[in-house]
Amino acid sequence: MNWQTEIRQTAYAALAQRDPGLSLLLGITASITLALCCYSYFLHPLANVPGPKLAAVSPLWMMRSLHGKHLNRDIKRLHDHYGEFLPLCASAGVVANRVVLGDIVRVGPNTVSFATTVALTAVHNAGSAGGSGKEAFTKKGTIEWLLVEPQAHEKLRKAVQPAFTIRELRKQEAIQQNWITAYHERLDFAAKEGAEINITEHISQLTWDMLTLQRTDRGHDFLSAIVGTERKGIHLTQDELQSNAAMLVMVGQDATVTCLSSTLYFLLRDPRQMARLRDELSAAFAREGDITGEAIARRPFLNGAISEAMRLISPANGTGMHRQSQGGYVEGVWVPTGVTMAVDQYTIQRSPKYWKHPEEYRPERWFDRGPGSDF
């Protein structure tokens, strides 16, 4: 008999005999839980922020959403829901005159979510909140903090930045074109075979190869740039080298794969938009060799198609971007010390307040804003 069964049976036995010790223990646990729930619901500084009751008293609401992998959609639904009920809860004390209900919701006992661009600036631009210049919303304890821990950050920036100058990026162009040509051949082959392929896997493989594989013409890629910092008098320890390289690959690869696969997803679902993209590209490029980074940066529809995919499916969707309040105002609302807060990109990027036809994939919204246009 394992220990779990044993405990369960003892508990049942005790319950059956109405063991006074156990009843007392259960009673105390229940009272403490109830007291904590009451505190969270009625007395907590966030008590007046609208949100589901379950989220106000326990982390269960967030856990359920996370588990079901629909946290983004759930948070957006809350912002929409409480926005609609504005007249009913307009008396909520914490909400100052500037903020509209629905712009802030409580998603956990100690966690709030904002959905305005003003909040985005206040929370993520250092020194802009509170006015005193101090960081009112620290990254401490967040993923971001791990990535850009202050002393390491300066060193990392010096090490990595040289690899991202236009000149360096141009040097990498030839390598990238080789990879892309090889990739094309693989796709052509699959197409001739009539095979079904998983494009996400293909893109993932391609970007991984481009970022990490050993090359014969070493020296013009991101990793060599980091490794080469020693020569420039920047000393990274072995650990720093490894974790920075790993971080760059992870962040770079993940974001690129998400961005490319979602762009393809939307284009494949919308033949009209795909045809517009094909027209733009075939008019601009006669040969594969003409397709350089600089040239594609000037193609409005292509860039619109990518931006629009990133708007709808953001590679950094807000998870892990939360901040810890040190006490500060956001949108005129006082956010007490210790409260975890997030500005929900997903909601903002699909909000009718900021976008026309927010749920539609419309690349032209990024460049066609003239008179007579929809945007």
Ligand X SMILES: *[C@@H]1O[C@H](CO)[C@@H](O)[C@H](O)[C@H]1NC(C)=O
Residue 196 near ligand X by CB under 6 A = no
Residue 205 near ligand X by CB under 6 A = no
DSSP state of 290: G
Helical (H) or strand (E) element with 42: none
Name the residue type at position 108: G
Nearest to 45 by CA among 343, 332, 338, 321: 338
**CA–CA separation, 225 and 306 (whole Å):** 27
Minimum CB distance to ligand X smaller for 177 or for 200? 200
Choices 107-115, 164-172, 198-206, 323-331; region in contact with ligand X by CB under 6 A: 198-206
| Two structure tokens written together for 34 | 């109830």
Residue 253 near ligand X by CB under 6 A = no
**CA–CA separation, 336 and 333 (whole Å):** 9
Name the residue type at position 121: T
Residue 345 near ligand X by CB under 6 A = no
| Two structure tokens written together for 372 | 């007579």
Residue 154 near ligand X by CB under 6 A = no
Choices 57-65, 195-203, 222-230, 274-282; region in contact with ligand X by CB under 6 A: 195-203
Which of 181, 319, 337, 373 touches ligand X (CB under 6 A)? 319
Choices 33-41, 139-147, 197-205, 361-369; region in contact with ligand X by CB under 6 A: 197-205
Task: Provide, rounded to whole angstroms, the least separation between the CB of residue 198 and ligand X.
Answer: 4
Which of 84, 149, 188, 201 touches ligand X (CB under 6 A)? 201
Minimum CB distance to ligand X smaller for 185 or for 201? 201
Task: Provide, rounded to whole angstroms, the least separation between the CB of residue 317 and ligand X.
Answer: 4
Residue 5 near ligand X by CB under 6 A = no
Minimum CB distance to ligand X smaller for 299 or for 350? 350
Task: Provide, rounded to whole angstroms, the least separation between the CB of residue 155 and ligand X.
Answer: 26
**Using CB under 6 A, which residues numbered 259 to 288 contact ligand X?**
none
| Two structure tokens written together for 11 | 């508990």
Binding-residue total with ligand X (CB under 6 A): 7
Pair 303, 366: CB distance under 8 Å: yes
Which of 17, 132, 151, 198 touches ligand X (CB under 6 A)? 198
Helical (H) or strand (E) element with 175: helix 166-193
**CA–CA separation, 269 and 272 (whole Å):** 9
Torsion of CA 167, 168, 171, 175, to 10 degrees: -150
How far lies 366's CA from each of 119, 278, 299, 355, in Å? 23, 18, 12, 11
Choices 32-40, 135-143, 193-201, 332-340; region in contact with ligand X by CB under 6 A: 193-201
Residue 317 near ligand X by CB under 6 A = yes
Task: Provide, rounded to whole angstroms, the least separation between the CB of residue 312 and ligand X.
Answer: 10
**Using CB under 6 A, which residues numbered 50 to 89 contact ligand X?**
69, 72
Sheet strand arrangement including 111-114: 104-108, 111-114, 340-343, 323-325, 137-138
Q: Which residues bind ligand X (CB under 6 A)?
A: 69, 72, 198, 200-201, 317, 319
